[in-house]
Structure 1
Amino acid sequence: MSDTDKPKVLFVDDEPRVLTSMRMLFRNAYQVLLAESGVAALGVLQAQAVDVIVSDQRMPGMTGIDLLRRARDLQPNAMRILLTGYSDLNAIIGSINEGEIFRFVNKPWINDDLGGTLARAVAAARASAAADTPTSGSRDTAPAAAAGAPTVLVLDDDPAVAPRLQTILGTEVRVVGAGSMATAIEQMEQHDIGVVVSDTRVQSHPVVSLLGTLKQHHPEMVSVILTERADAGAAIELINQGQIYRFITKPLNESQCKITVSSALRHHQRLAAAPQLHQRYEVSAPATPPPVGSPAVGLLDRIKGLRDRVKRWGS
């Protein structure tokens, strides 16, 4: 493969030694582009198309999140990866909501892991370009979802959340609730679920395995996290292993909920119509999968069996 045929990867970091390491590691596989600041990176993005952007978070002048948010507007098909050496919850939530991050990678990174992540990101970017469909669409400005949209499932210990969300969304969207993972799967078996709105934990159990399995076997489903007890580690797991679409905090804000869920429903419709885009939302394998024989395994197996039902709804 000639250099001009290689995928283009833009690395952004204010530390020259990091950029030197990236060039040495990846110059054989990719056209490596380097920028020492967000402003310099935007100049690169305005001049040429890239497949993947890998940015540090903590940079003077413009953070990685700010850069990736603007990169999303300039080149929506480019995949976005954030390097971070610290745990700032607000920064992580911002990167999910505004930058639509493919992966978080911790500093110091493991070369083989970063290489594997880059390879998957490049494949997803090429698939998106082949689909010829902008992946981000318009910014989240629409006030409501279109009539006839798939059902929204609310997974939360608080039984008042689902009725409250139904009131906010109005009659155009059907909302069903579940207070446990088992009940959530029953709802999925009975309804055409397009969006899952979930707390980070239900009945004291983290939902990341459930959302990750959903995304693995039903990539057209879109997950939104709604919680008041987030932490940085959980947020990183939810994007890397669950590919959540948005992260919003309790108490419910009517305007924010309406815009976010409407955007999630539109995103679901894009994914259902263009399977080529599914690679963009590929999930990482869980660090600690549930043990064989545990109740969680049986629930996750039921998710895999939803495929035939999803096909029938789409026919």
Structure 2
Amino acid sequence: MNETTKARVLFVDDEARILTTMRMLFRGQYEVFTANSGQEALELLKTQPVDVIVSDQRMPGMTGIELLRAARELNTHAMRILLTGYSDLNAIIGSINEGEIFRFINKPWSNEDLTTTVARAVTAARASAAATTHAEGAAPAPGAPPAVLVLDDDAEVPAKIQAILGGDFRVVGATTMDEAVGLLEQERIGVIVSDTRVQDNPVINLIGTLKQHHPELVSVILTERADAGTAIELINQGQVYRFITKPIHDSQCKITVSSALRQHHRLAQTPELTRRYEVAAPVQAPPPGSQTGKLMDRIRGLRTVVKRWV
């Protein structure tokens, strides 16, 4: 698509007043399409390619997650944003595992936040559109594949994941964030598999800082106790790739980690694609000089080390 043409944005909501608000808010800036149901949106997408899809989650007949999952098949390159007015962890996890959401926005939203988010999604869609096709055909990098770093309080989890993945994969384990950063400084890592909390500390700053400064790294979250707020943060500030629920199921784990390694390869070989996984600014950064702050500084210094491996 020519960069001088207006971006095409589709808004989907069963409430007519919200669609009217969207038209008024974005008219003149984008070519705006609207649909009042998931099915209507899918019919439109069969004939009208768009850059960004913004959908409500709770709609009769078809939820936002179901729509965005189907839309991903019809319009691979479109960026996907989910709006919701209620907290539902299963829906949030589904948005990552099935719809690959760029951002999760709570209703009622701030117009400034919404317009900024849509603008970033448009930029990402256009920057990555041409690169996506090229990335699919990229040849594997020479040498041994990168390792999978497993971060979990339970020291037995890395061995369990190694057993599930088999000998074609190399797993290294850490039980603290300090150990994890140390391994990142020493090893060629492609995928991080982490619990939401380690030693009772949330991993959001670690995951978010890694994605910001080292965007080809792909994160998978292990969860058995995550709340909706944590999951939203991990989407918006960490662009996590997938969730794996505990107790770990062998087939889900192997499929997810294999897919994550392929995603790492695509991002490493085609850096333009990383625009699709741009992270939001942290809500609260760790204080400078704190232990967490020092770890984040070490992560920022990883870039030159990691580039040696790619």
TM-score of the aligned structures, taking structure 1 as reference length: 0.94
Secondary structure in 2 matching 1:99 = coil
**Structure 1: stretches of 5+ with no match in the other structure:** 138-145
Equivalent residue, structure 2, for 1:113: 113
Q: Check whether the contact 1:38–1:63 (CA below 8 A) recurs between aligned residues.
A: yes
Candidates 288, 295, 306, aligned match of 2:302: 306
* Identity fraction in percent: 69
Amino acid at match of 1:63: T
2:190 is the alignment partner of 1:222: no
1:10/1:54 contact within 8 Å kept: yes
Mapping of 1:69-88 within 5 angstroms? 69-88=69-88
Pairing 1:63–2:63 present: yes
Q: Look up the match of 1:15.
A: 15
Question: In 1, Cα distance between the equivalents of 2:30 and 2:123?
Answer: 12
Alignment deviations for residues 213-247 of structure 1 (CA, whole Å, 9 cap, x no partner): 00000000000001211111100000000000001
Counterpart contact for 2:132–2:273, Cα < 8 Å? no
Out of 264, 287, 302, the residue aligned to residue 291 of structure 1 is: 287
Residue 143 (structure 1) aligns with = none
Query: Structure 1 segments of 4 or more deviating over 4 A?
Result: none
Within 2, Cα distance between the matches of 1:287 and 1:166? 34
The answer to whether the 8 A contact 2:181-2:299 is kept is yes
Shift of 1:147: 8.8
SS of structure 2 residue aligned to 1:33? strand
SS at match of 1:284: coil
Q: Is it true that 1:258 corresponds to 2:254 in the alignment? A: yes
Q: Is the 8 A contact 1:147 1:173 kept in 2?
A: no
Contact 1:180 1:202 (8 Å CA) reproduced: yes
Q: Which residue of the partner structure matches residue 126 of structure 2?
A: 126
Structure 2 partner of 1:90: 90
Alignment deviations for residues 228-275 of structure 1 (CA, whole Å, 9 cap, x no partner): 111111000000000000011111111010000000000000000110
Instruction: Give the Cα–Cα distance (whole angstroms) in 1 for the partners of residues 303 and 279 of structure 2.
Output: 18
1:185 aligns with 2:172: no
Q: What is aligned with 1:281?
A: 277
Partner of 1:244: 240
Q: For residue 260 of structure 2, what is the amino acid of its counterpart? A: A
Task: Give the aligned partner of residue 141 of structure 1.
Answer: none
Q: What is aligned with 2:139? A: none
Amino acid at match of 1:131: A
Deviation by residue 1:134-153 (Cα, 9 ceiling, x = unmatched): 88x7xxxxxxxx99321000
Alignment-mate amino acid for residue 192 of structure 1: R
CA distance in 2, matches of 1:186, 1:293: 18
DSSP-derived class of the 2:173 partner: strand
CA distance in 1, matches of 2:8, 2:44: 11
Counterparts of 1:123 and 1:130 in 2: how far apart (Å)?
13
Question: How far apart, in 1, do the equivalents of 2:44 and 2:9 lie?
Answer: 11
Normalising by structure 2, report the TM-score: 0.95
Contact kept? 1:166, 1:174, Cα under 8 Å: yes
CA distance in 2, matches of 1:97, 1:15: 27
Q: Secondary structure at the match of 1:5?
A: coil
Match of 1:142 in 2: none
Is the 8 Å Cα contact of residues 222 and 244 (structure 1) preserved in structure 2? Answer: yes
8 Å contact from structure 1 (residues 148, 173) kept in 2: no
Map residues 162-177 of structure 1 onto 2, 5 A cutoff.
162-177=158-173
